[in-house]
Amino acid sequence: MQPEPTSEPKRKSTSFSPKAKYTFLFASWVFLSAFSFYLGMNLMAKEGGISLSLKNQSPFGKSEEVVQNSVEASVEKTESSESDPTEIKEEKPTSVLEEIAKEEIPPDFSADENVSFRASAWSTDWSAMRKTVHLYNEIHPFIYTMRGGLSNNGELISSWSQTARKERVLELRALNPKVKIIPTIFRWENPKEKIQENIGMGGRTDIRDKHIQVIVNEIVTYGYDGIDIDYEGMSCDKKEKFEDFFVLLAREVHKKGKLLSVAVHPKTPSDKKKDLNCRGLSKPIQLDFRENWRGPTTHDYAFLAKHADRVKIMAYELHPRKYHNPGPGPQAPNVWLKDIITYAKKRVPTSKLYMAIPTYGYDWALNCKSSAKAIYHSDAQRIRSGVHKKHQPTDINQILTAENKMGSWRNLSKFADIHKNRAYEDPSLWYTSGGCDRVAFYMNRKAFEEKMTLLRKYDLGGFSFWQLVTDNDPEINEYLSLLVQGKLPAVEKVSDKELDDSSKKVVSEEKQVKLTKIKEKTIKKTAVN
């Protein structure tokens, strides 16, 4: 042990100069004043309802810049345990309803769940979902994909954390108690990602069964109303395995009293029916539709409709952003929607059949090499603020003739025959930028109304948006508020006879196009000889 000191050490003098004393007193006064102001403001906030939250703060106390995720952002592992170290930690509110009350109050209505024509939307935009959920009967948060690339292990990945999944479901229900929350599981087959073992390919029924159980666990854990399966671009050899998977999933989902939705590729009738022999299948696939690439061959409308509660046809991308056939044009014109409906209505019960409508368009270069780009409401507004010509309806052949640009607008003129005798309800903007002539097709309220009127005439179960984003035309919401409350005037329904006549017309037009092409080839060959 150390010996005790025999005497106290001498202390250093602590006297202050007059200047130092005044400086210390002044600093103390500033600190106490600031602290008193802070306490007073917080007391007022509690008693008088003054909000000190950030402008973009979510109801759960975190900035949306922090909590908002998208499919393109890094995703997080889906686990059943709340102790997952990779999970984003978010503060829990004392009361969901208290926090929501601080936000902007939506109109005093919610979508009527008893309407015959239902509104739904896919979305990665949390801000748009919470702002407009009262306008929809069903919301599909686009948040899930499969773990693994070229092979699967049955597990899912979510772009919402476990905490966000729980809290956002609660918030959507608080904003619209009647809404059906049916998240989507998405996977598009490509060179780096496949849909394999999750549907039982390679004899891996164990992984398929695990995948089904993982899906059901997600539904139950987070209180969803169901699940939406969006497995796209599958090769034809997966048709039967996908159907087996779907039947088993439907059984388990329905046991829990939940809904099963499926997104399918668009198909239009064909006059020529043939069998596609695909390796690995027990029987050929009957091709009675035009779109005979790998994706549509695996989506049998009639089969899936027997087990699904919703069949949502992805009726968009008629004119993809790439410049190959069919070049510039609208994404979902009514003339094409009619063909899709004609094929689908004979295979899917009306109450289950939904048509998915795009909220976007594309902006193409007409006479130069320039990438096409997606266009939303703000983009259309920007173009309209400059020099442009707007057309609605849009008759492309008439515009080519009137502008005398058939020769110079090479990216469009070579596809002119596709647009013959057609006038699209979709609006278009024709303008010049950077020395390049351009055309932009986009969605506005007028075009949307005409599409909805068409779908209602065919007595479909509803529509879906791809996708619900903040940058959609706000006037569309005004129309939706009437639609989902059942306040729109009734429309005359298309009869079965008209549907049959429409089907015959589609087939007749297809034959006429083929005959025209044959005739043109014959004329060219004769001219050469």
Residue whose entry in the numeric block shows the structure tokens 């009437």: 482
Residue 424, classified by CB atoms within 10 Å of its CB into exposed (0-12), middle (13-18) or buried (19+), is buried
Confidence of residue 27 (pLDDT cuts 50, 70, 90): low
Confidence of residue 116 (pLDDT cuts 50, 70, 90): confident
Specify the range with the lowest mean pLDDT, choosing from 58-62, 143-147, 454-458. 58-62
The pLDDT assigned to 64 comes to: 28
Q: Does residue 163 register a pLDDT over 60? A: yes
* Assigned token pair, 408: 């110079």
Residue 392, classified by CB atoms within 10 Å of its CB into exposed (0-12), middle (13-18) or buried (19+), is middle
The pLDDT assigned to 323 comes to: 75
Q: Does residue 17 register a pLDDT over 80? A: no
Strands of 112-257, DSSP E: 118-123, 138-141, 144-146, 156-158, 180-181, 184-188, 226-232
- Rounded to an integer, the average pLDDT of 242-269 is 97
Check if the beta carbon of residue 327 is closer than 8 Å to that of residue 417: no
The pLDDT assigned to 111 comes to: 60
Q: What is the spatial distance between Cα 308 and Cα 262, in angstroms, rounded to a whole number?
A: 7
pLDDT digits (tens, 9 = 90+) for 62-108: 222 222 333 433 343 333 333 332 232 333 333 333 443 344 434 45
- Rounded to an integer, the average pLDDT of 485-506 is 79
Q: Does residue 16 register a pLDDT over 60? A: no
Any residues with CB less than 8 A from the CB of 29 and at least 6 apart, and which? none
Report the C-alpha dihedral over residues 498, 499, 502, 507, rounded to 10 degrees: -140
Confidence of residue 497 (pLDDT cuts 50, 70, 90): confident
- Rounded to an integer, the average pLDDT of 224-235 is 98
Considering the chain, what is the average pLDDT of its residues?
Answer: 81
Q: What is the spatial distance between Cα 490 and Cα 185, in angstroms, rounded to a whole number?
A: 35
Which CATH code is given to the segment(s) 111-359+443-491? 3.20.20.80
- Rounded to an integer, the average pLDDT of 356-363 is 96
* Assigned token pair, 128: 């748009």
Specify the range with the lowest mean pLDDT, choosing from 22-31, 131-140, 198-207, 381-390. 22-31
The pLDDT assigned to 498 comes to: 75
Q: Does residue 115 register a pLDDT over 60? A: yes
Q: Where are the domains of the chain?
A: 111-359+443-491, 361-442
- Rounded to an integer, the average pLDDT of 250-268 is 97
